[in-house]
Structures are given as structure tokens and as C-alpha cells.
Structure 1
Amino acid sequence: MNLFKRYLNPLLVSAGLLAMATLAGCGGGDQGRDPILGLPAATLSSLAVTPATATVAIGAGQQFTAIATYSDGSAQDVSAKAAWTSATSASATVNAATGLSTGIAAGNSSISATFGGKSAAAQLTVSPATLTAIAIVPLAPAIAIGATQQFTVTGSFSDGATRDVTAVSAFASANPATASIAAGGLALGKIAGTTQITATTGTLTASTVLTVTPATLLSIAVTPQNPIVPVAATRQLAVLATYSDGSSVDVTSGSSFVSATPASATVASGGLVTGVTFGTSVMNASFNGKTASTTVTVPAITLVSIAVTPATASIVVGAQQQFIATATYSDSSNAIITNSAAWTSGTVANASVLNTGVATGIAAGTSSITATAGGQSGSALLTVTAVAIPPVLNPILLGRAASFGVLAGTSITNNSGGTTLVTGDVGSPSQTVDPTQAAGFTNYKSGAILAGAMTDLQAAITDGNSRTCDVSFAGGVDLGGQTFGPGVYCYAGAISITGTLTLNGPGVYIFRTALTLNSTVNSVVALNNGATADNVTWLPVGPTTLAANSVFKGNILGQSAAITVGDNTTLLNGRVLTAAAVTLRNNQITK
């Protein structure tokens, strides 16, 4: 044992000395620059961050790299050793240890790296979130023939948000003979079978299979049950069919109707009941071998008078006016009897009238429009004026504002998570939730382009207000239910639109109001016979409010008042331009 230790100790000492010499020759792992060898250590000369500029969408990431350059010309990736910071964390954040940056909100931020006493930075631009995927629901539904199925489309965006994009999606059925699908995603089963339903949003698509199953008719029901219909008044019956799959379908249009006692009440082929004399009558309906009935009661009251409204009206030759007949009974009750009354025109050379109460101007002059029912009658006076042939109007030129679908001098407020889609440029210095835009258009928040558009907007308003009025009215007007030809229409009071306003014929239309412009829920501006939205201009002095679910056409030019566009309202071929504020909510605006 002692002999073994005698030789072991010198060997251990020799091995230790050899290891120390080896480490000294390697420079201690510092690229051979160890002072042991007498060589000076390289010093850090500079630091650079790459890429120098980058752009990401909200929610997307960008990896930055920090490169250190030393005095001996060598370079080293020090990304994992550097300290990373973001100058504007509201727009973009950065992992302090790795240099991985993430877009938070549209804007810009300087991404900096610090290492060895040196600093460097890169610029990161965060663009609005982009649509990355869509999904259609429900998946693989089944409906009976004649039933409907509403499909919805959910979009996933680069910022991780999901939104309902049904309103801006296009739908198609691979086999429309089996099931058709409307623009809003409502499918209708037609014959038994299957079809692929496809939704397209931008360049993205999603699909599902819709199965249409046969259904057996179980029963039908007539509604309302036991209605009361006064003399000369009307009431519409409806027939609902119930099928073996549990569905109910309105089959009124395909049903036949018979009145058991037509002396008391009659029923038309479409189910419209008219009271004749005091009494009752059973109304029988039949559909595909099934029958149902309801009892109509005509009360023991007498028709006292008929009022026709409006009492006076004026239209131009070729235009139409809807008159309403209202009956008053002996018990002081009232009923609208427009569709059951007999209508006549006192001077048919000047105006004609349909049995629906719609009068048409034939020639300049006046005519008494009379409704008769139950031995009573009422009249209104219709004045027909000749159509003045206006000089050809030049359209109002928007100049640099023409590329904008939405332009606001102060601010744009858009609902978060909504489905607003603007096909056109957007401009405003302050925007709450940037509206989604179709490809190829720009959102301007400052700069010469925005300033130029605002200047040309005011020039266009001045031009429109300088045009000579073809029609001037000292009060306000409800344009709903009326038809207008091209011209300049000036009103001292407010303009409202209830129902449908029809603009008929090619040419320039200018509507000016010294007060407000308002449309009601579900109102429509319709263009017929060559009228185009680009040639329709609205010039309100006061605020504009377009109610929910309305369909508006033309350019709204606000000089200094706000414009509010209601929920799900569309401006297809129109613009919202004002020097003040604009409020949007789930809208489609196409310039």
C-alpha cells in the first residue's frame, strides 16, 4: 500500500499542472484574449438592432436581434444578453430578455436594446388588425322543405379578437335547387337533398353542408281567431302549416279561402276579409288537403263618416300620391278602409286613382279624390301641376374629398367589435376604433391629403348652396312615400324620410335644409330609371341622423354639424363627409 501511494502522488501533481497549462493556452474562453498571454481584450465598439424598421398587425409578433461589434472587427449576437424596452408600450410591447415584440394597438414604437453600456433602437409600426380566418355556423344543420336556416360568420383577427362578420360576407349555395341562400345568410329549403353553403369574406372562405329533409303536413291553423271586422273595414287572415319535423310555415299565399256567409263578410283569394253587414261568418281555409277555420264577427255598429287624408295634396304630372280612407263608426271607433273602399277621381282628365287609393297626376289642374263605402263617402282635393323642365344641372364636384367614404373634421366614433366596413378612404384627426376598410384604401389622421379633402369639402358645400332652387318651401317636409325628379329642393324646415323616397330619372338631385336631416327606422332611398347615387347630394345645416336598418343613397355634406349613422344602416354608393363629428355603428358605406 505504501508503495502504491509513493507513485500515485507524483502522477496527480503532474496531471494538475498539465490542466492549468491547457486552460492558459485557451485564454479562459474569451476568444484567446486572456491577459495571461499578454494580449489586450477586444472592447465593445457599437450595438445595432435589426431589422431597423418593421411592420406588424395588431396581435402579431416581430423578433428583433441585437448585434454587438467589437474593436477587433468581430461581431456577436447578444439578443439574449441585452436588455430590451419599448418606447410606446401602448402600441407595442417587447420581451425584455429576448427582443420579441408584439403589436398592441395601431401606432409606432421605438424598440431599444442595451448591452455593455451601448444602446441601439429600431422602429416598429403596428397596423390595424387583419382578418385571418372565418368560421360559418351552424355546422351541418338540417331543415325541412320550406323551412329556413340562418347562417352566421365569425371572423378571427390578428389581434386575437373575434367578431360577427355576417353582414360583410357573401353567401352561395352549391345546389340552389335544393336550398337557396340570401345575401344575409338566410337559407331556404326547397327540395330534399344536400348542398354546400359557402361564405366568403374578403379572400377567406368557410363552408358547411346543409341537409334538406322531406316533411309531412300535420295540420293548419288560421289566425287571428274570431276577429272583429267593422262594416267596410278589412282584416288579413294568415294560415300557418305545422309539419312532422316540428316546423311551422306561413302558407297563406298557397291557401284557398271561402266565406260561409258572404252577406256578412267576404274573403278574397289572399285571405283579406271585408266586413259587409252586421252578423257573423265562418272563414274556411284549405291547404294541401288540410282545413281550418275562424269566425269573423261584424259588430252592430253603423258607418257614420269617411275621412280621406291628406285632405289636400299637390303633385306634378306623372307623380303619385297615396290617399288613406279612415272610417268612423257609431260607437266612435275608427278603422282604416283604404283597401276596401271604392275610389273615384272627380276629373279623370287631371288625375286617376286606383282602388288602393293611389292617385296619379295626368294633366295640370285639380281633381276631387273620393272614397266610398257603406253608403258613406269622403273626399280630398288633389292639385296637379305641370312638370317644369329644369336646366341641366352639373354635378357637385368633391375634388380631393371624392376618394373618402367617411370624412370628419373633428372625430369619428365607431363601435368596438362591430361590423362597420368602409369601401373608400377614411379621414379624421381623432378616431375611436378605426373603421374596417376594404383593400386598397387608406385611413388618414393628419397630413396634406386630409387637409386638402377638408378644403374641397367646404368648396363643394358652397357650390351646392349657391344653386338656384327649383322648389322652395318655408317649412319642413317628410319625403317618405314621394317620388322626385332631378332638381334642387330647398326647405326652411327639417327634412325627414319615413318609408320609401323614390328618385326617378337621370340627373342631379340636391336637397337642402336649414335645419336637420333625419330618416326613420327601415326607411329607404330608392333610385329608379337611371338615377345614380353619385348625383344625389344632401346639404343639411343642422345635424343628420340616419335611423337603424335604413338604406340611404347619396353624399351627405355637413358644413359644421355632426352626422350619426344608426345601427346596421347602409350607404351603398354614398359618402358621409362633415367638418364636425361622425358616429358609426355596424354600417356598410361604399363611396
Structure 2
Amino acid sequence: MHTTALPTSVTRSHFGSSYFYSSRRQGCPSERLSIMTKFVLIAALGAIASVSAAGPAAVNLGKAGTYAILSKSGISTVPTSAITGNIGVSPIASTAITGFSLKMDSTNTSATSTQVTGSVYAADYATPTPADLTVTIGDMEIAYTDAAGRTPPDHLNLGSGDLGGKTLGPGLYKFGSTVIIPTDCTISGLPSDTWIFQISGDLVMAANMRVTLVGGALASNIVWQVAGYVEVGAGAHMEGILLVKTAAHFRTDSRLNGRILAQTAVTLQSSTVTQPYLGRLLAQTADILV
């Protein structure tokens, strides 16, 4: 895996935008890559990425991927929480968003809150918000069904559902009951790798524990599909996209680098939710086309 990742770093250090700008400024035609050569290089990088990527095909979040928190039943906070990204509720109305001290914008299509770096949307706001949210909620449900239906698993009931102390490589993980994270665990892989955790029960993370990403693994490539509820304990740090059939509870000072996409309620207690970096290996090749 290390050798397949190497061309990416080489490309960025030797064929990045600064290299081409430098060649143009110095007027050295022999050092310039032709347009055709650039596209050949991009195709080669695409092939490398395809070979090097491990894990299941990514789950398409659709419009739900534009939200840090999305809920069908309500979002509540015990101030002060900090959310980076949009939050929204549908089909329930904005009265189900509590603790945020919302302020409507001039068009009544969205609201703002000092606890949200982004916009707040609800099904009873002005057009086109209700229709947009209907599509978004539908995309969330499709993503949940997609993640839940993937087969065959690479790992079945790993650790009897206890992920504490484990290092988790890319793949499809299936659990027939509740999953617990009683101690720190690590998710290890490349930026192009993917993980899906299919959990038939609940997902419970103990207080002050941490999920750590290493090797370039991205929270945007990690999906936790949970048929029950999610609970992240006080002071704990979680990573990934939470596709939750029921509720999500984040206790005091808990943190998530990811998204909460819940089909019932989301409750926060002075929590931090940051939508993840969306980087992908191939996105970096755009540097070549300057």
C-alpha cells in the first residue's frame, strides 16, 4: 500500500502548480509538459488510485452530504455547542430545533445561530426549502439502505462488537448486535480507502475515549450504519459519517469529525460537530491543469 501511495506525493511535489508556473516564468519550453502529457499523467494517477484504494464502494450521501446534522424529528442543544456546517430538520417544523436561539434570514428560507457556522433549515421555512429538504431526507434514507445492504462483509462480529484497542483497516464490517468503544481505537488507511460499519444494535462510545485516524484515512470515507441509537460519551471524540436509524446522543464536551444523519432526534450537550474534509486522491491531480 505504501508503494502505491508514493506516486501521489511525487506528483504533488514535482508536478504541482508551482512547478509549471516556474517553468513558464523561466521560459524553458523543454521543461513544460504538453496538454496531452498532462492528461496522460492524470489517467495514470487515476489508475494508481483505483488499484491502491481498499474497502467497499463509497456510500453516496446525495444532498444529505451538504449537512453536518440532519434529523427527521428534531435537533436540540444544551448550549454552547459548536457546529461547522448546515443543520436541518424535516418533515418536522423548526420548533423542533431547540437551544440554538435561531434568527431568520430576510427571505425566511433559512436561519442562523451563533452556535452554527453554516445555515439552519426546517420544513416550515419558505420555498424552496421544504422541497429541498424532502429530497435531502430521501437521500439520507437511500444512503442508509445502501450502507445496510452491502455484502459480503470482510469482518463479521469482530471482537464480539468490542472495538476498544483495535486498529481497523479498510473494509466492510458487520455486527449482529451492539458495538461498544470502551477504550481508544484507531482507523488506519489511505485517503482513498473506505470503511462501512453495519451495526444491528446500538453504537456506544465511552466517556473520554477517542477514535483516531492514521495513514491519511478520511472521516468522509467512514460510514457507521446504526440500526439502533448512537451515544458518544462526555469528552469523547468520534470520526465518520453516522447514518442512524433512530437517535444520536452526544454528551457534554463530546466531539465529532463527521456528520450526524439521523432518522429520529439528535441531542447535543455542549458538543462540537465539524463536517469532514472532503479530499480525495484524484482531486489533488487538478493541480496539474494550471
TM superposition score normalised by structure 1: 0.32
Residue in 2 aligned with 1:412? 75
Residue in 1 aligned with 2:144? 461
Task: Report which of the two has the higher share of helix.
Answer: 2
CA displacement 1:129-153 (0-9 Å, x = unmatched): xxxxxxxxxxxxxxxxxxxxxxxxx
Within 5 Å, which residues of 2 pair with 1:83-232? none
Change (3 A) 1:502 1:458: same
Within 5 Å, which residues of 2 pair with 1:216-365? none
Task: State the Cα distance separating 1:403 from its structure 2 match.
Answer: 1.1
Q: Which amino acid aligns with 1:395?
A: A
Residue in 2 aligned with 1:509? 195
CA displacement 1:504-535 (0-9 Å, x = unmatched): 11210111111110000111000000111000
CA displacement 1:318-373 (0-9 Å, x = unmatched): xxxxxxxxxxxxxxxxxxxxxxxxxxxxxxxxxxxxxxxxxxxxxxxxxxxxxxxx
Aligned 8 A contact 1:494 1:513 in 2: yes
| Aligned equivalents of 2:69, 2:244: Cα separation in 1 | 12
Match of 1:523 among 186, 209, 222: 209
Task: State the Cα distance separating 1:453 from its structure 2 match.
Answer: 1.3
Which runs of 5 or more structure 2 residues have no equivalent in the other structure? 1-51, 101-112, 124-129, 276-290
Task: Report which of the two has the higher share of strand.
Answer: 1
Q: Which amino acid aligns with 1:562?
A: A
SS at match of 1:402: helix
CA displacement 1:13-44 (0-9 Å, x = unmatched): xxxxxxxxxxxxxxxxxxxxxxxxxxxxxxxx
Aligned 8 A contact 1:475 1:494 in 2: no
Aligned 8 A contact 1:545 1:564 in 2: yes
TM superposition score normalised by structure 2: 0.65
Within 5 Å, which residues of 2 pair with 1:522-541? 522-541=208-227
Q: Which amino acid aligns with 2:85?
A: G
Which runs of 5 or more structure 1 residues have no equivalent in the other structure? 1-388
SS at match of 2:217: coil
Change (3 A) 1:514 1:392: closer
Match of 2:164 among 480, 483, 489: 480
Identity among equivalent pairs (%): 30
Task: State the Cα distance separating 1:590 from its structure 2 match.
Answer: 0.8
Aligned 8 A contact 1:524 1:550 in 2: yes
Residue in 1 aligned with 2:281? none
Task: State the Cα distance separating 1:390 from its structure 2 match.
Answer: 9.4
Residue in 1 aligned with 2:255? 570
CA displacement 1:183-218 (0-9 Å, x = unmatched): xxxxxxxxxxxxxxxxxxxxxxxxxxxxxxxxxxxx
Task: State the Cα distance separating 1:391 from its structure 2 match.
Answer: 6.0
Task: State the Cα distance separating 1:475 from its structure 2 match.
Answer: 8.3
Task: State the Cα distance separating 1:437 from its structure 2 match.
Answer: 4.3
| Aligned equivalents of 1:544, 1:392: Cα separation in 2 | 23
Change (3 A) 1:414 1:438: closer
Q: What is the number of equivalent residue pairs in this alignment?
A: 198
Residue in 2 aligned with 1:399? 62
| Aligned equivalents of 1:390, 1:472: Cα separation in 2 | 21
| Aligned equivalents of 1:549, 1:474: Cα separation in 2 | 25
Match of 1:431 among 83, 97, 104: 97
Aligned 8 A contact 2:73 2:265 in 1: yes
Query: Root-mean-square deviation (CA), in Å?
Result: 1.9
SS at match of 1:442: strand
